[in-house]
Structures are given as C-alpha cells and as structure tokens.
Structure 1
Amino acid sequence: MTSSHELAGRAAVVTGGTRGIGRAVARELAAAGARVCVTGRDADAVRRTAEELGGIGLAGGVADPAHPQELTELVLREFGRIDVVVNNAATNQPYGPLMDVDPDAWREAFAVNVEAPLRLVQCAWRAWLRQHGGAVVNVCTEGAGHVGPNVGAYGTSKAALLHLTAQLAGELAPKVRVNSVSPGLVRTEMARFVWEPGEAEVAAGLPMGRIGEPEDVARAVVWLVSDAAAWITGADLLVDGGTRVRAAHASGAYAVHDRLRGTHHLPGA
C-alpha cells in the first residue's frame, strides 16, 4: 500500500469503491493522504468501507441520473473540494451474441459504463474542477481493443469509454487531466469464474507469471492522479501483466488464456 502523503489535502471520489479494484483504489488514495468518498449499491458495504478509510460514502447506482449530482454535493459539503474522480463502477452485462442482445440491456451497459462517468465528470467540473483543476481516471479494460465471444456489449461500451477519456482530456485541458487504466485479468470476485478454475495455467501464459491483484491497478491509478504524472493526459495505461505481448512469451502456455479471452475482460468493481 502507498505510504506517502503525496495527495494530502485533496478529496477523491471512487465509484464502485467497496470491492475489487475500486476498494483497492480507495485504500491507496487514502494511504496517500487523500480524503475519500466511495459509492456502491450495497449500503452496508459503503458504510463499512467509508468507516475503514475514515472517509464518507453514498449508496446508489451510478446510472441513476440524480446520483452524480448528489455525490458531488456530498463531497463538497463534507470535504469542501473535489480534486480526483475515479470512474470504476461498471457492468459486464448483457452477456451473449450481439445478434441476440436486448436493446434495453444494451442501453443499460452504456448508461453504466459510458454515460455515468460522463455525468459525474460534468458535475465535478461545474462544481469545482473548472476553477480549481484536478484529475480524472476511468477504469477501462485491456480487452477494449479486441473482439471476443459474448462480450460485445461490454467491449463496445469500454471502447467508447476509452474514446470518451481522450475526448475529455482534450476538452478539459489544461485545468483537468483525464486518463484511463486498462487492467487485464485481475483477482476480483467478479472475475472469479475465470481465474479460479485454471489459475496456474492462465498465469503461466502471462509474461509476468501471475494474474493481477487489485492493488496492481490501484497503484497505477494513484500515480496517474498524483503530481508525478502532471504532464500526462489523454493516456491509457495498460496494467495487464503483459497480456498484449504474450505471443512472444517463451512458455507457450498462453493458449489457455486465449480460450478465456472472450470471458475475462471484466470490470474491476
């Protein structure tokens, strides 16, 4: 865990911050000195996480149009500022071929994975960031640039989030830096069905020899919002254990990983 106080005095919001990558991000931000607000659907988990971090929380769904404004107002009321926004909450549904996708489920994927991050940045921009500056990180996926079976809605929405990241970086500079991180397979509860049955084989197919931990991604997020990355905006940071270069990996065991490619690109919430 980060132990410095490089973010002391700053206030951060982490959506989907009660489990997996989001929880790890919230913990690392707090360890770096930031005051942290977490969101999530489970009110008890939000309360417990906020208490653990010495921060605050707001239960609710990010796709609720009222949620971003309520969240922004809470953070400003309690912390007096909002410097960091981490859009981590996501859904990997609907699952299945695009020819069978339900239009309402398709729209829900985009509401959660694309529209909700935009709404929160809009609210934070109008309330604080436009005048004072800050940093935004969107949690995408290494799989956004690939085609895989049954994950078309998820992959397409995350590809849209990648473009949204770049667009916002251009529009909000120089006041606000906007970047993304794209994890590979990470040991989260949501991805358990992928990594648990054949973890050793999957790990052997990665150049780094293991699947990711939530903290691997969290440390990258903290670096991106810190002053150490002050001249970086519009970037996508791969945190994938070498997934994209595995074809050159000597073990040759990446065939197992390839078989799972269609199912492992999961959000970190």
Structure 2
Amino acid sequence: MTEATLAGRTAIVTGASRGIGLAAAAALHGAGANVVLTSRTEEAAVAAASSVGDRALGIGAHATDGAAARLCVEQTLERFGSIDILVNNAGTNPAFGPVLSQDHGRFAKTMDVNLWAPILWSKLAVEAWMGDHGGSIVNTASIGGLSVGPDLGGYHVSKAALIHLTKQLAIELGPQIRVNAVAPGVVRTRLAEALWKEHEPAVADRTPLGRIGEPDDVGSAICFLASDASSWITGETLVIDGGQMINAGAAADAAMATAGSH
C-alpha cells in the first residue's frame, strides 16, 4: 500500500489560521511537506505557521484578493521551489436565513469566497507550477452541498457548485493534476459554531459515530487526497461526517413511512 508520504513536496493551504485549514496544514507538514498557510491577516498566518513547524510559512492573503494570491504563489516558489499541493479551504457564510431573503452583497461574498477563490488559486497554481509538473488540488466543500436544509441555503448552493467545480476541473486538468474535495459534516470549528455549540450532545446523538467531528478528522483526509495514496482518485468528494448524512436519510425514510400509514 502506498503511504501518504509528502517529503520534498510543497502545499499551499488557504484559510489556514484555524479550524480545518490549520489541521490540514499540520497533517501535510506531519507527512513531510513544506506548507504555506494563508489567512486574511499576516499576523494570523504567521502565528498559525509557527504552531505547525519549521517547514511552514505564513502569508497574509485574503482568499479573493488576486494580487495577494499571486504574490503568495510567487513567494512559495521562491522559498520552497514548487507548488505540488493546493488546498482551497477558505470559506465563509454571511448569508444566514432563507435564500430569497439574502441581499446581493451577502450572496456575492459567499460565492466569491466559496467558489471564485478556489478558481483563482487553482488557476495561479496551475500556471505557476502544476501545469508543467503535476499536482493535487483538494477543495473543502460540505455535506450541505449534497443536501438541503433551512437557513443555510446560500452556503449550501455555493458548496454544491464547488463540488461540481471539482469534477469539472478534474476533467480539464487530468491526467497531470488530480482534483478532489472533502465534504465535512458538523465539525468543531468557529464557522460551524451555530450548528453545535449550544446543543453538542443532541448533535452527537444523531451521529452514528457518537460525536461531532474534529478538525483533525478532516485534515487527515485532506492529506490522504493530496498524497500518492489516492493516486487513482480524481473528481471525487469524500464525505467526512461520522455518518450524519446516512442517519438523516434514515430519519427521513421513517418520517415518510409514518406519514404514509395515516
């Protein structure tokens, strides 16, 4: 079996100052990769990099800032000499509530960060290195992109589009570059606090594996998809949710069966 060894390779992880991004950076670094962590502020990026290790570099670059992204790519090549892995992790959700209640500003911000930024960073990485040398791109989607639910419709739509983008880029960039995604369930992150912080035991009870997710659960999966251990996988979205989606399906089936009996 091929191991997830990344010695000599370099990864860029966007939105890596905390949560899943930081966990992914740590997992990649632990597998031997040089890692560049980005965040909206230089201070947050540098602090996160210092917590990861000596082969980590923090660079301030907002995910949708094209000039900052280009500079980050250039600095990565200057420092480490390659860009073998790109993790498009930066995400946002300012559009809470029904889809039709959202204004254009909140909708546009959601789409810019969750969908346009992965396109921007992928384009830069491909043009600067991967197009000639190959590589692996991993996008952080969500189980929300594979389902529907109240109040998070704008976010869900953006993640559904990201899942489709993953498939599209896998076709366009193969065979030199693999493109995959992860779809986390409820994970202990700041972005997802509204989904678990006040009712974690109830969420855990609805999860077949008995707990909400931790950032490391997703970080290790990202490392797997970035490595040669997944060398014959592309265009796929790996669900990491402790069974939350299948349990939701079972609950829906039971409700339909009950309704049908009346």
Return the TM-score normalized by structure 1.
Answer: 0.88
Match of 1:259 in 2: none
Conserved? CA contact 1:211–1:241, under 8 Å: yes
Pairwise mapping of residues 73-112 of structure 1 onto structure 2 (< 5 A)?
73-112=74-113
Pairwise mapping of residues 1-269 of structure 1 onto structure 2 (< 5 A)?
6-52=5-51, 53-54=53-54, 55-247=56-248
Give the deviation of 1:5 after TM superposition: 7.3
Distance in 1, Cα, partners of 2:126 & 2:248? 42
DSSP-derived class of the 1:178 partner: strand
Q: Deviations over 1:106-143 (max 9, x none)?
A: 11111111111111110110110011000000000011
Conserved? CA contact 2:224–2:230, under 8 Å: yes
DSSP-derived class of the 1:66 partner: helix
Q: CA 1:72–1:248 in structure 2 vs 1: closer, same or farther (change >3 Å)?
A: closer
Distance in 1, Cα, partners of 2:180 & 2:89? 12
DSSP-derived class of the 2:66 partner: coil
Taking only aligned residues, the RMSD between alpha carbons, in angstroms, comes to 1.6
Q: CA 1:122–1:166 in structure 2 vs 1: closer, same or farther (change >3 Å)?
A: same
Distance in 1, Cα, partners of 2:113 & 2:248? 33
Conserved? CA contact 1:50–1:57, under 8 Å: yes
DSSP-derived class of the 1:13 partner: strand
Conserved? CA contact 1:5–1:33, under 8 Å: no
Identical residues among aligned pairs (%): 45
Distance in 1, Cα, partners of 2:146 & 2:229? 28
Name the aligned partner's letter for residue 203 of structure 2. Answer: V
Q: Which moved more, 1:101-110 or 1:190-199?
A: 190-199
DSSP-derived class of the 2:95 partner: coil
Q: Deviations over 1:151-210 (max 9, x none)?
A: 121111111111110000000000000000000000112222321211112101111111
Name the aligned partner's letter for residue 224 of structure 1. Answer: L
Instruction: Tell me the number of residue pairs that the alignment of Structure 1 and Structure 2 aligns.
Output: 248
Q: CA 1:106–1:247 in structure 2 vs 1: closer, same or farther (change >3 Å)?
A: closer
DSSP-derived class of the 2:93 partner: coil
Conserved? CA contact 1:5–1:31, under 8 Å: no
Distance in 2, Cα, partners of 1:189 & 1:132? 36
Name the aligned partner's letter for residue 174 of structure 2. Answer: A
DSSP-derived class of the 2:37 partner: strand
